[in-house]
Structure 1
Amino acid sequence: MPNPTIDIRLSVLDLAPVIAGNTPADSFRNTLDLARHAENWGYHRYWLAEHHNMPGIASSATSVIIGHVAGGTKTIRVGSGGIMLPNHAPLVIAEQFGTLESLYPGRIDLGLGRAPGSDQAAARALRRGLGSGGQDFPELLSELQSYFNPSSGSPMGVRAVPGEGLDIPIWLLGSSGFSAQLAGQLGLPFAFASHFAPDYLLPAIELYRSHFRPSEALDKPYVMIGLNVVAADTQQEAARLATSQQQQFLNLIRGRTARLSPPVDSMDALWNEQEQALVERQLSYAIVGDQDTIRKRLPVYLEETGADECIVASQIYDHEARLRSYQLLAEVVTHR
């Protein structure tokens, strides 16, 4: 008798990892290859994230790489997970995503965050007088929305061409309650970054749902959660592959940035007990194992959160192993 499948919409979060010994050009080739496979395996959307001054992440020019992926695929939705809006003039983002939607109609998502996606030095280099700290995020969001919907009155009579009048889904992304509450009040879909900041997940979802007001975008709340998934044909191989991601988080805890490291047989010599506890806490919304492990763990997260969709990050050093991980996950899920 075949194993039952899990009913949930699946998507991909790609950080375009630059692995040790490779270049961003290699990462972009791998990104498009993964996107094409994900499309064939039934994944719903493929998102890329804005990060800066990080040698291990190549998706800093997020709108450009979204165009690269959308142009090389046919049906999968492609978008940002997310654009860090305080880094940009809203008009520029409206024009960029208006261009993407015009080129690939009905396939573009605009996920927005209020963090800088970088360290303080990079944030200063990016912002150049465009605001600070994300405190003006609601105003920036309102301005951005006005460019897509000119009936609401564009600031200073400026029009976004392309962009004006286009229906581009806007998502709010967050790792705290700020964006959760705002997304609820505005009736927008909400994605929580539980793949790296799980502690506030459940309170944020509750805050979002309790503040939700129906809008033209949504008539009821829609929640997407981030999960780290490292899947392999055996539990042992998955555990070994997952050490690349553990090393990446360990570097972040230590204030370092580096390219994604190859897996190791054991992390014992690389971290101390306190560091291990911190890494494991940040990666608590993770599934590492074979398909049986996925079948056991994924329903637990879905029942706990009531999520409508999961967006999956898999920081795996070997590209073929990364493809295999997403394939194994897709095989145990009923797509919708």
Structure 2
Amino acid sequence: MARRITPLLLLSLAPLAAAGLSGCGFMAKPQRPAWRATAENACLAEKRVQPTAYVQFAPEIDGPGICGLTKPLRVTALQGGAVAFNARATLDCSMVAELDQWLADVVQPSAMARFGQPVAQINSMGSYSCRGMNAQAGAPLSEHSFGNALDIGGFVLADGREISIVRDWTHGEQQVKDFLAEVHGGSCRHFTTVLSPGSNAFHYNHIHVDLAMHGRNGDRHICKPVPRDVAPPPGQDPQLIAHGPDDDDVDTPGAQPPLAAFQAQASRGGVNDSLILAAPMPPVRPKPSALSPESGPKDWDVTSSIRPRAR
């Protein structure tokens, strides 16, 4: 005769059943930190990014682990198509919106002031990729694992001339080096993490930018190396040049290196075109004929405040 299973017996067996299920791999899937969804939802609700021919929503990327994006964006160009990517980037809403604003506030004003022409292309070295920091096994997850980071290897000007960070950061013409210094310093106003050549061995050839949440309240910024003072573009008032922060102002709560002074100059009516065109220019490089596939994991990854959950 079968025994009757009482509610008390079921309760006593519940912990054993849960343990058995966990041993078989039926534990609940780890979740991404809540601040990521909050930031993404706010960006989408505010319509900071609108779909265009160059920015398109893609299917959700779910895993492995907590890697992925709920509403990834595939990006081939920003600024309404005016600034192309050399390779299609997969990014989240907040990064796309901030990159677009960064181009308008920092990159293009500096390029116009120093070269008399805008940037036409960003040479990306990586966007979304589920991996550890610096592509090291067992390292904390990178912000690239959430589409919350971009590695920038250089730029192409409107006339096809290429600016390479690995070549020009220290060995380029002075105007090119100062342009990159202004891009680095201005990036620290737009992103919570900026790591450029001189920050560590992994970033000798690119500028890494992301929107990681640093600190308990997200009020900590990382900007390395310390932004340096730069000479003004030809014909510009030296008093307008922004100075980099002191060492104590970097990597501290609320630290925001000042925006390069070319914005102030622009508000006063621009710069002397004849002097700009006399500035040294980077060498002419052929324009890419087509967009190449997004690059895979390499050694240009970077910091994250989020560690993978223990399995």
Q: TM-score range by the shorter chain?
A: under 0.3
Larger radius of gyration: 2
Q: Which of structures 1 and 2 has the larger relative contact order (alpha carbons within 8 angstroms, sep 6+)?
A: 1
Q: More helix per residue: 1 or 2?
A: 1
TM-score by length of structure 2 reads 0.27
